[in-house]
Amino acid sequence: MSATLKSLRALSDSTRLRIVALLERDELSVNELQEITRLGQSRISTHLGLLADCALVQSRREGKRTFYKLNPQTDGTAGEFIQLAIRGAKELPEHGGDQINLKRVVNRRREQAQVYFNQVAGRFDRVYGPGRSWQAFGHLLLRILPPLVVADLGAGEGLLSELLARRCKKVIAVDNSEKIVAFGAAKAKKNGQKNLEFRQGDLQNPPIDAGSVDLVILSQALHHADEPDRAICSAHKILKNGGQILILDLLKHNFDKAQQLYGDRWPGFAESDLHRWLDEAGFKKIEISVVAREEQPPHFQTILASGEKLAG
């Protein structure tokens, strides 16, 4: 088969068009392409193999990882094919999400502190040490919290709010259930936590004054909202300048029974959707990453998203 026909065949698949468009801006590893596209590792490797076979992409080794990039030495015809592939990729419905995820992944790679944390977290569960647990680490981190005013939106019975109230200046726990709010308020009174206040309300329009809190937390709550983007906009409104939002939620999944079992309105979220909503709400310094993966089916993954409200 001629080189031209091999190139045409390699670029006849929409997934390979997506990969070529992603490699236009930066070299990427298989794992990074997997995170961006949410496709399986073996599938991505197969597509990269076909693109490499016709010399459209090149690879290099760095430790245990292999990075891929577009071949800068392609001839005129192959170069034209690559440009056509990039144009075709822009017409695909996945293109917008791919570009958002690409920016996030590349930025995170450049932040060495984040890379180091991921390496440490990956080793944590593999090496046993007496008294070494996430629970202990959590209490340690609580001790270094500054005196913040925190809004815990969709707080439920307030477990996280209770922990935060031990160190924060004030914690406002918001939930739409009258019974849960009454339960949480009674428990806070019993425990003498005068800086923990429960309020009944919708996380999409929380009963909190604008510009009055330092930190907004949405912990496994956003997937219960009718309009998640509206909830994020409301969080931006109640934050002070310099305040931060933290979202802990599920990565988008295919476990259909979640709605029936847990009352979820959304099957988790794609990183690209969260990034877009945070950006549209006005947040800056946006960071999103997967922070936990369950080993048992349905293998839920947890993502942590953050953003900062800057004066302007």
Q: Which residues pair with 306 in a beta bridge?
A: 246, 287
Over 70: is that where the pLDDT of 125 sits?
no
80-97 pLDDT per residue, tens = 888 998 999 999 999 999
Task: Give the pLDDT of residue 124.
Answer: 60
Residues 248 and 298 in one domain: yes
Asked if residue 117 belongs to a domain, the reply is: no
Task: Give the pLDDT of residue 22.
Answer: 94
Among 110, 144, 172, give the residue marking a domain's end. 110
Residues 133 and 95 in one domain: no
Q: Which residues pair with 246 in a beta bridge?
A: 217, 306
Residues 7 and 135 in one domain: no
Q: Which residues pair with 307 in a beta bridge?
A: 245
Q: What is the mean pLDDT of residues 178-187?
A: 93
Over 90: is that where the pLDDT of 4 sits?
no
Q: How far apart are CA 133 and CA 276, in angstroms?
A: 34
pTM of the model: 0.66
Closest of 210, 245, 209, 223 to residue 154, by C-alpha? 223
What CATH code is carried by the domain that includes residue 92?
1.10.10.10
Residues 145 and 252 in one domain: yes
State the residue range of the domain holding 33. Answer: 3-110
Asked if residue 258 belongs to a domain, the reply is: yes
Over 60: is that where the pLDDT of 115 sits?
no
15-38 pLDDT per residue, tens = 999 999 999 888 899 989 998 998
Asked if residue 86 belongs to a domain, the reply is: yes
Residues 202 and 255 in one domain: yes
Asked if residue 123 belongs to a domain, the reply is: no
